[in-house]
Amino acid sequence: MRNSVPSIPPPVLYSWRFAAALPLSLALACEGGSGAYDVERLPRLTAAEEQRVGSKDDPDVGFSSVAGLDIDRDGNLYVGEGEDAEIRVYSPGGVLVRRIGREGEGPGEFRWSPRFGVVNDTVWAFDHGLRRITLFSRAGVVLSTGQVTPVRIPTPTCYGYVLPESMLPDGRFTSRLGSIQCSRDDPPPGVQPGDSMPVPRVLFDATGAVVDTIGWDASPDPRMVAPPGASRERFQFIQVGARRLLVPDPPTDAPVWIPVPDGTIMIDAPVATDPARGTFSITRVGIGRDTLYRREYVYRPVAYTAEELDAIALAGSRGFGPTGEAQAGGEAAPPADAAAARALRAAMKFPQFRPWIWYVQRDDDGRLWILRDDADETQEAWLLFDAAGLPLGHLEIAGRPTFRWSRGDTLWAVQLDDVDVPWLVRYRLRGLPGGR
Phi-psi region of 48 (alpha: psi -120 to 50; beta: other; left: phi over 0): beta
Which pLDDT score is estimated for 348?
94
Whether 426 shows a pLDDT value over 60: the answer reads: yes
Contact 361, 403 (CB under 8 A): yes
The pLDDT of 36-44, averaged and rounded, is 91
* pLDDT tens, position by position, 256-275: 999 998 899 999 999 999 99
Predicted confidence (pLDDT) at residue 333 exceeds the cutoff of 80: no
CA atoms within 13 A on the CB side of 151: 26
Q: What are phi and psi of 314, to 5 degrees?
A: -65, -40
Rg (CA), the chain: 23
* 189 touches 155 (CB < 8 A): yes
Average pLDDT of the chain is 86
- Report the C-alpha gap between 139 and 122 in whole angstroms: 9
Cα separation, 358 vs 367, whole angstroms: 17
Tell me the residue type at 159. Y
Give the separation between CA 354 and CA 275, rounded to whole angstroms: 11
Instruction: Choose the most confident range, by mean pLDDT, from 127-131, 194-198, 316-320.
Output: 127-131
Instruction: Please give the pLDDT value at position 161.
Output: 95
Between the ranges 14-28, 35-49, 131-145, 182-196, where is the mean pLDDT highest? 131-145
Compute how many other C-beta atoms are within 10 angstroms of the C-beta atom of residue 333.
14
**212-238: average pLDDT:** 80
Secondary structure (DSSP) of 323-378:
T--BSSTTPPPPPP-HHHHHHHHHH----SB--SEEEEEE-TTS-EEEEES-S-TT
- Are 175 and 203 in contact, with CB atoms under 8 Å apart? yes
Domain coordinates in residue numbering, the chain: 28-55+251-303+352-436, 232-249+305-349
Name the phi and psi angles at 311, rounded to 5: -65, -40
Q: Is the pLDDT of residue 436 over 60?
A: no
Q: Which of 25-29, 99-103, 307-311, 363-367 has the lowest mean pLDDT?
A: 25-29
Q: Could you tell me the pTM of the whole model?
A: 0.85
Q: Are 75 and 405 in contact (CB under 8 A)?
A: no
Predicted pLDDT at 195: 85
User: How many helices and strands in the chain, by DSSP H and E?
Assistant: 2, 28
Percent of the chain with pLDDT over 70: 86
* pLDDT (mean) for 278-299: 93
Give pLDDT tens digits for 62-75: 899 999 999 999 99
b/e per residue, 351-382, with b = 16+ CB within 10 A? bebbbbbbebbbbeeebbbbbbebbeeeebbb
Average pLDDT over residues 81-103: 94
